């Protein structure tokens, strides 16, 4: 069953975005696969009646006993759910070890193939971690002896886009095993780009993708190795580096007290509006929600910049913290604002309320 369903799933995933195939297409693909498995001849123009009957029995058996591959519309067949199709497509990718790397590399960076590739690497890693590491290094990063033998080269503009590297980080988040030296290389580059905006990290869209991969690492072996690199950053003399470290730790679900304290200081004392704004946003993301965090954000409502004030208000809303009383100084300013005849009128420059 697995070889036939894997062949069927792979063909569908390549040729049918809808996941549906006609009865004729099903018989043709499965007939050829069945003939290959049984070392018999197959002619699509003149199909062997014996093979056709075997395929019919197979489809009935799969439908009645598993419900995986069914007639979802009149004379239109497909897997009951996309996840089943992705599972069997992944099985096909690694069905023949000598072809696995080529098949994976062929579909790398096609959004529709992301899950099947991750599943395929995961299957290999369950039984043969070393093979999974070699396959990931060869097919994803195009590195090593095997990649050179197969003629693999990095994806176009890899030095700028980092597509191969970002997918390798996604593999780490899925706990696909890689050899220790490669793991350290990947995480060292990640921490350097996150903290110092080196290489492609000088581009905003790439940094956003890097932060998304950082979130995937939560709870993985990679997170435990990345954690000490970020924890040491709060001792850096540069405010931007310390803030990035705090954000990174929050994404990993391991916000350190030092990192949160750094955000307190940045919001209250930083001369740069951009830094104060980012500190307020980060506190909304990773703040502890305790009285200290709430007090700092409340004080931020008095900031001279309206965007910083807005960010503080949104952070408080995100933390879900309300108080029946507020510090007298803040209450006094809010009362003055409400009594101001210009309160709520659009700002001529920004076209938005002057007070948040």
Whole-number Å distance between alpha carbons of 57 and 51: 10
Task: Give the H or E element holding residue 35.
Answer: helix 23-37
CATH number, domain with residue 280: 1.25.10.10
pLDDT value for 250: 61
CATH number, domain with residue 77: 1.10.10
Domain-embedded: residue 228: no
Whole-number Å distance between alpha carbons of 165 and 318: 33
Q: What is the pLDDT of residues 195-208, one digit of tens each?
A: 788 888 888 889 88
Domain-embedded: residue 206: no
Q: What is the pLDDT of residues 244-301, one digit of tens each?
A: 666 666 666 555 566 677 778 878 887 778 778 878 887 887 766 678 888 888 888 8
Domain-embedded: residue 77: yes
Neighbours of 308 (CB within 10 A): 25
pLDDT value for 353: 46
Contacts of residue 107, Cβ cutoff 8 Å, sequence gap at least 6: 93, 113, 116, 117
Report the C-alpha dihedral over residues 260, 264, 269, 273, rounded to 10 degrees. Answer: 80
Q: What is the pLDDT of residues 164-180, one digit of tens each?
A: 999 999 999 899 999 99
Domain count, the chain: 2
Domain that holds residue 289: 253-356
Q: Name the pTM for this structure.
A: 0.69
**For all residues of the chain together, what is the average pLDDT?**
82
The last residue of a domain, from among 88, 112, 127: 88
Domain-embedded: residue 10: yes
């Amino acid at each position: 069953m697995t070889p036939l369903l894997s062949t069927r799933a792979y063909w569908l995933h390549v040729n049918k975005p809808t996941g549906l195939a006609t009865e004729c297409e099903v018989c043709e693909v499965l007939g050829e696969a069945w003939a290959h498995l049984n070392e018999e001849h197959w002619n699509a123009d003149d199909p062997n009646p014996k093979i056709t009957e075997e395929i019919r029995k197979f489809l009935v058996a799969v439908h009645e006993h598993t419900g995986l591959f069914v007639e979802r519309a009149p004379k239109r067949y497909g897997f009951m759910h996309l996840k089943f199709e992705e599972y069997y497509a992944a099985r096909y990718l690694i069905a023949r070890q000598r072809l696995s790397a080529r098949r994976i590399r062929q579909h790398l960076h096609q959004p529709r193939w992301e899950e099947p590739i991750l599943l395929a690497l995961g299957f290999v890693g369950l039984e043969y971690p070393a093979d999974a590491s070699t396959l990931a290094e060869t097919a994803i990063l195009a590195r090593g002896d095997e990649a050179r033998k197969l003629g693999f080269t990095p994806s176009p503009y890899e030095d700028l886009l980092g597509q191969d590297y970002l997918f390798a980080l996604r593999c780490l988040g899925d706990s696909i095993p890689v050899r220790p030296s490669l793991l350290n290389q990947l995480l060292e580059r990640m921490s350097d780009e996150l903290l110092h905006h080196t290489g492609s990290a000088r581009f905003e869209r790439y940094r956003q993708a890097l932060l998304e991969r950082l979130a995937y690492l939560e709870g993985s072996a990679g997170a435990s190795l990345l954690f000490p690199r970020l924890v040491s950053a709060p001792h850096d003399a540069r405010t931007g580096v310390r803030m990035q470290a705090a954000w990174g730790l929050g994404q990993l679900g391991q916000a350190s007290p030092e990192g949160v304290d750094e955000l307190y200081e940045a919001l209250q004392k930083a001369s740069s509006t951009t830094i104060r704004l980012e500190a307020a946003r980060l506190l909304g993301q990773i703040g502890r929600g305790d009285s200290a965090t709430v007090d700092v954000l409340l004080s931020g409502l008095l900031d001279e910049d309206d965007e910083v004030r807005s960010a503080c208000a949104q952070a408080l809303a995100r933390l879900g913290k309300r108080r029946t009383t507020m510090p007298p100084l803040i209450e006094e300013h809010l009362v003055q604002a409400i009594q101001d005849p210009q309160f709520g009128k659009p700002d001529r420059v920004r076209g938005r309320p002057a007070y948040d």
